Amino acid sequence: MNARIIPFPRRPRPVPVVVSLVTVDWDVARLLYVARCSRCADAFTALGLADADDWADTHTCDAELVALLAEVVIVGRAA
């Protein structure tokens, strides 16, 4: 008997230009879902998880912002 690994079906996503690192959290204080990209620091708040998830799915990082943030981190380390 041959064991075969069947890949778990994933829902189709738009092809990202830059792979984003979005995490969705529940903000207890504001009673909102907060999607935040750890790469470009962009954030989105939503009343529903589906909306936050949609934003996370379609989010693409602003390349200029990512470059700017990388510079700030480097300057911060040098100081």
Contact map string, positions 16 to 55, toward Zn ion, x by CB under 5 A: ----x----------------x-xx-x-------------
Q: Are 27 and 45 in contact (CB under 8 A)?
A: yes
Burial class (CB in 10 A: 0-12, 13-18, 19+), 4: exposed
**Per-state percent for the chain, helix, strand, coil, to nearest 5:** 35, 20, 45
Per CB under 5 A, which region of 2-10, 15-23, 25-33, 47-55 contacts Zn ion? 15-23
- Which CB atom, from 39 or from 52, has the smaller least distance to Zn ion? 39
Applying CB under 5 A, the residues found at the interface with Zn ion are 20, 37, 39-40, 42, 61
